Copies of this chain bind each other. A is one copy, B any other.
Amino acid sequence: MAGYNHLFVPGPTNVPESVRQAMNVSMEDMRSPSFPAFTLPLFEDMKKVFKNETGRVFIFPSSGTGGWESAMTNVLSPGDKVLMSRFGQFSHLWIDMAERFGMQVDAIDCEWGTGVPVEIYAERLQADKTHQIKAVFCTHNETATGVTSDVAAVRAALDAAGHPALLFVDGVSSIGSIDFRQEEWGVDCAVSGSQKGFMLPAGLGFLSVSQKALAVAKTAKHHRCYFSFDDMIKANDTGYFPYTPATQLLRGLRASLDLIAGEGLENIFARHHRLAGGVRRAVDAWGLRLCAKEQKWQSDTVSAVLVPDGIDSAEVVRRAYQAYNTSLGVGLSKVAGKVFRIGHLGWLNDVMVCGALSAAEMALLDCGVKIAAGSGVGAAIEHFCLSNKTTLAKAA
């Protein structure tokens, strides 16, 4: 089909020109004398994105799921009790992984469209006087429902209970796009991946760990090898890797980190909030609702939009793809057929969002949803113009 494909799934995200250029490379020897001069600053700059000041970041050739597995198998042991919550497909899969690895999972089921139940977590932690709970898990941004949870509040609950449990965060679709503060929030394991806020192709899993997690890892009892901390630490400390790293993606990561530093993390967060605001105004204007139940849960990186009864959201997504060369996210699992998702994270600007909303409007109209053509895009345009004026006024 003519024209570009418009990619608005919540990952992979659009790859910036400079990252694409940086990955257009010949291969290189990952044992060359000059390799550490390239990798050591990479590790340091990764820490800045996680706001991890005292710990370290691991970079695996894997997806984000590999980051999950590394955290679990290096820092926990079979039989460990962990506190988790399920409110979407990705928080579900994390629980599933914990169960497969033999953890004793206290999984709290929440309504999809809500997030981490901080109050219940607080109760459980207060009640756990003997500190049986070894780790508390928090899906920062549930990609399936477009829900952002309050990690700082979970930290507060731990502190209030004086509980020593480790804090694990799935930040795959938040870190680098939504405010995240590993050191300040006392996060022990923060997982992310290359294909979301880092604006790279899929293929790298990131795990940012605290000194506390590193210490615990020394005695953890899972079998592990590929995702082992020990091997990585030993090799990474000299600027190398225990097995062949994905150098092409690492070259792209360099360019991505340079872009992130250039724009500034706080500006990136503000941009995502502004763009997400446009999407939310569009959904309002269409007369539709988000899967996120309350404003406080609304994600700045992905919006899951509920379609009216009688409409199959999968049909909307298919129509957008086939007639308008636009990739929207399907509803997964429990919300299959009920929501379609607009990913609005990464290398994105106002006009790209207007394109996504235009595609959604056309697909919705074609599928028989009664919305006014241009209503959503128009609402977003008003929001963008207004917010840009404010920005300009501030700058002047």
Contacts and interface: CB of A to CB of B under 8 A. Distances in A.
How many copies of the chain does the oligomer comprise?
A: 4
A95 B338 CA distance: 50
Interface stretch (A108-116, A287-295, A305-313, A342-350): A342-350
Interface in A55-79: 60-66, 68-69, 73, 78
A61 B246 CA distance: 10
Contacts of A66: 61-62, 226
Interface in A28-74: 28-34, 60-66, 68-69, 73
Contacts of A102: 223
A62 B244 CA distance: 9
Q: Which of A29, A73, A193 has the most CB of B within 10 A?
A: A29
A25 interface: yes
Interface in A222-239: 222-227
A201 B362 contact: no
Contact of A223 (B222, B263, B268, B392): B222
A210 interface: no
Contacts of A203: 61, 203, 246, 248-249
A215 interface: no
A164 interface: no
27 contacts: A2-B348, A3-B352, A7-B28, A12-B30, A13-B27, A14-B26, A17-B25, A21-B25, A23-B23, A27-B201, A29-B321, A61-B63, A61-B202, A62-B62, A65-B243, A69-B226, A100-B223, A223-B223, A324-B351, A325-B349, A361-B381, A366-B385, A366-B389, A374-B375, A374-B379, A377-B377, A377-B378
Interface of A: 1-7, 9, 11-15, 17, 20-34, 60-66, 68-69, 73, 78, 96-97, 100-102, 193, 195, 201-203, 222-227, 242-249, 263, 268, 271, 318, 321-327, 329-330, 347-352, 354-355, 358-359, 361-362, 365-366, 372-379, 381-382, 384-385, 388-389, 392
